[in-house]
A and B are shown apart, each in its own frame.
Chain A
């Protein structure tokens, strides 16, 4: 295939990782409450489906937003022609206001420093194109979102060097792990251009502490490199400690435009998680560096946001009553749903990392592994997908250094489906491992290998007809 580029024929973007394979299995046999009760329940998709009713009811009351109208007048032609990569001014203003609101208005953001992109996928890639040359590197704390392998490396030629975080301290970033990652890059002859963190974290579902943020800032200051903070989940921080943006910490530390580090701290945002609108492709880059803003703006030509969508969302986000109510209600529902998942897992003798944000839990299934290896993790994952019929994401796909952790999503399915998933898991653990539920802490397991196949059909069918589990309604 010498006729195509290396990009087209090589596969470094991780699209064949288990993250995507589980998805494929789900597509072949998706669970349906009525038509396919034995199907695979999708718990590998970090979508927020909990608050659509709020948006739908707003749309019903505000038909102009979708109808290309403004103050009763048609603005169709204006929108049809609007392809200015500076973005629709009203929308950018509404976006920065919304972002500030999510940050408790502890920061003020300038719409002129915001660049709109077709989703955070585009924003992240654009940042890498702007900040690093092929062969250079960014440091990313593990575990991280599997999509980064494709988004940040594929067409840019930039390398990712992991900052190895472990469960010993709740996967927090430390000075040591930062230094080690930097030295690892040096050993590999890779020039480090920056650190990219996701805060709140995917897949951990935790917000970064003030201490971690200070550490990061000192580190990038010391090394003279960039900090990209992907804050795509910032609106999903439903529990304390509250979310602290890197922008807030800059202010804390009295870093302003006179300090060098000010220009090297950048934020990525999107409406895909907070508002549950991944289909609308709304992402954004925020940077204090004018040159980065200028370059990113031009690059956004390759992925602009539809003006039709900018208009609709600008009207929506300009409605402060809606945004205030939405943010509060979103937190409330996410918190409740996470609680249900945690409690369901506890009943199966499984614990999670203590999470306060995101659309998923970082689940500890180490005690269910045959051995403390990634092979054993894969084995367990396959059982869960093919036998328990739950698609969850194995930690290895997120580059976790310790086998046995899984990401389980809770906001992309109805509560009763979540309950069913938990029942299946409980039955699986119970039959396979003889592990009783005790105070939510797991006990050592006895594995019964021989039971595999027949078990599946038996208890899966049983559960489908069972009355709703007692977890429901808690």
Chain B
């Protein structure tokens, strides 16, 4: 009696990405109340700079109290449901986005469509650009949520672009072509490529060369490019972030057809750490897309209350400039802590300059070079060593043994505890490999006591 959509499971919600989350919910770590609980490292949240936002809000009560120059704008906001968005908010958003791109590009608020989070933005773009049964190419590994967000209700297919650790997971011309041919083999009409730049789960920014390959490819095949730039504000190291908009402008493609086929998705969930406020957006030079997406945004508008509060905050240019700088500084430091802690356990990461996570190489800890072994290792990490991390298979990685570990959603102390557990895990695995005996249970109680008195590693 229900629709196929409601009854099916193809929305990916039962992947390990979500299962690990469930385990965490049953037994969440708490420094005081549950020190043996599972530490959440599977959630790409940015909790590092809330203090900045909180202090701004405390000094600017109008923003929360829904006042303008101390006069209430409650009524105006209560009634404001215009899918064209709150003008003041859109104006601030495009400036904020331009600043993030070093003002190398300029954005027009009339080309911006607000949506309830980038989850909504991505799905809406699928609805606008592809019919059921058509396909989008996505480089692997990719954010597990895409399986649901892009495919579930739209009926659109995802065909992977194979990227491997051989070249640091960069997108190559041949990988693009192969993916396209693969789609054709399955009789799937390819409507475009969707990239996440900076990448989730890799934590890297796309190079100029990759962007140019992408643009050339889209021009050749006459297809769309969706660039999900949700992490654009989290770039904390060189090389600097290059938006698709910049790459196009550099090549003077404003008058080319491809200009109308490139769309950017953005959100305030990662850069400002505000996923609860549901602020996402689509930016497109294509008037038809803007128009259709605007109407579709009726199904997921941003609360006018939230649009107002954030428009006030983003208006304060001094604040946003300082925030971005400080946010990046803290992310960099935190990432270095993670990398260092992993190094101490003999584990390497992909070299990264952005995002809220590291792409961690645990291939040497696998029993065998298989996804079964990866699953085994993952279960061990979650259930025996109490760390919820995301296995590469849930991100459709083609090589077993890679994991995504988040670093910006916990305190420094908790990260330290996590690193110690990782060390213990590695030790146990090595012992296991050497003696063939499973000492994990014994080891577990030992390191738990050990950690209680362990001192913090000095800052590097």
Contacts and interface: CB of A to CB of B under 8 A. Distances in A.
Given A8-B128, A76-B50, A281-B301, A306 B276 contact: yes
Contact of A7 (B13, B77, B128, B309): B128
B184 interface: no
Which DSSP category, helix, strand, loop or mixed, fits chain B's interface? Answer: helix
Contact of B306 (A3, A302, A306): A306
Contact of A5 (B128, B149, B275): B128
A1 interface: yes
B5 A279 contact: no
Interface in B381-406: none
B305 A3 contact: no
Contact of B81 (A74, A279, A306): A279
Contacts of A47: 79
Contacts of A289: 2
Interface stretch (A121-129, A339-347, A460-468): A121-129
A278 B304 CA distance: 9
Interface stretch (B119-127, B195-203, B206-214, B345-353): B119-127
Interface residues on B, range: 35 or more
A56 interface: yes
A296 B47 CA distance: 29
Contacts of A151: 298-299
B72 interface: yes
A66 B64 contact: yes
B153 interface: yes
A309 B292 CA distance: 27
A114 to B, nearest CB: 17
Given A80-B273, A80-B274, A83-B278, A281 B303 contact: yes
A304 B128 CA distance: 21
A292 interface: yes
Given A76-B57, A129-B153, A298-B11, A4 B47 contact: no
B116 A280 contact: no
A225 B50 CA distance: 49
A146 interface: no
Nearest to B83: A121
B447 interface: no
A131 B116 contact: no
Interface string B360-375: 0000000000000000
B140 interface: no
A235 to B, nearest CB: 15
A399 interface: no
Given A224-B1, A281-B116, A303-B299, A52 B288 contact: no
A308 B309 contact: yes
Interface string A147-181: 00011001100000000000000000000000000
A130 B2 contact: yes
Interface residues of A, number: 73
Interface string B433-449: 00000000000000000
Interface string B294-316: 01101111111110010000000
B74 to A, nearest CB: 6
Contacts of B81: 119, 272, 278-279, 281
Contacts of B128: 4-5, 7-8
B32 interface: no
Nearest to A294: B6
B169 interface: no
B47 A77 contact: yes
**Residue among B1, B57, B191 with most chain A CB within 10 A:** B1
Contact of B80 (A1, A59, A279, A295): A279
Interface in A257-307: 264, 272, 276-281, 289, 291-292, 295-296, 298-299, 301-307
**Residue among A56, A83, A129 with most chain B CB within 10 A:** A83
B131 A276 contact: no
B88 interface: no
A308 B300 contact: no
B89 to A, nearest CB: 12
Nearest to A313: B305
A83 B117 CA distance: 10
B54 interface: yes
A150 B77 contact: no
Contact of B303 (A13, A264, A280): A280
Contacts of B298: 119, 121, 150-151
A312 B276 CA distance: 13
B453 interface: no
A418 interface: no
A6 interface: yes
A304 B116 contact: yes
A122 B224 contact: no
B41 interface: no
Nearest to B51: A77
B276 A83 contact: yes
Contact of B129 (A4, A129, A292): A4
27 contacts: A3-B261, A4-B129, A4-B288, A4-B289, A5-B129, A8-B292, A76-B50, A80-B50, A81-B45, A83-B275, A83-B276, A118-B300, A129-B153, A155-B299, A278-B78, A279-B305, A281-B116, A281-B301, A291-B6, A295-B7, A302-B153, A305-B278, A306-B276, A307-B276, A308-B277, A308-B305, A309-B303
Given A7-B127, A67-B61, A80-B275, 19 more contacts: A5-B127, A5-B128, A8-B288, A47-B79, A77-B50, A80-B53, A81-B273, A83-B269, A125-B299, A129-B153, A133-B4, A155-B299, A226-B1, A291-B2, A292-B2, A302-B120, A302-B299, A302-B300, A307-B277
